Amino acid sequence: MAERVALVTGGTRGIGLGVALALAREGWALAVNGVRPPEEAAPALEALRKAGADPLYVSADIGDAEARARLLGAVRERWGRLDALVNNAGIAPAVRADLLEAGEESFDRLLRVNLRGPHFLTQAIARWMIERWRTGEGPRGGIVFVTSVSAKVASVNRGEYCISKAGLSMAARLWAVRLAEFGIPVWEVRPGIVRTDMTAGVTALYDRLIADGLLLESRWGEPEDVGRAVAMLLRGDLPYASGAVLALDGGLTVPRL
């Protein structure tokens, strides 16, 4: 049986690297992208090799249509197939600004990368998967959207991030509905407070909130927590659940009195 191929966007740092490592350990062939030059991504790529993969790295901004096409072209050239897509790549505001002060430039930047990019990347890959489905070669995996608790929890000092993740959550739902007839499952994984370079600047804030009882599980989430969950989904260990939202937030969003 041909090896299974997965594309993990933003797969050389943070949550994306945690996902890519989990898939590498399970024998997936991996394509990963980022915006850094290959030499800066080299330590992450070496970690993936040690985990068992021979990763393809493409420096490509998924918010750019030409870059997305180049990324998919590289995957086609290397393997000629794609079984799974993990839409993980995303950015935070360069500056956290109050909703009354935040400008359009930051809004446009986040919507381009966090929402438009993965939506249209999914469109292109879904068409490819449907082509293979029509020849009887349906994907042995599916599509995962990595969103955030910010899809539901309002943070008024980074409203553009929340809006982008709320939109991405709906994109996951839309694609689950549209691709159901082709047997392509789609899931949303919604992490909470995860220890990455994106959250490094607010470590003290979240340490205090966690110590004060914000979570049911009183610890930071780790990229490997998300990686294990995504690997479970793409293995097929959660059947009959296309369109499901898997919250990995330590209980942050559980209503309490």
Catalytic center residues:
161
Contact 120, 66 (CB under 8 A): no
Nearest to 248 by CA among 197, 187, 198: 187
> How large is the C-alpha radius of gyration of the chain?
18
Contact 26, 2 (CB under 8 A): no
Distance CA 51, CA 128 (A): 28
Distance CA 139, CA 35 (A): 27
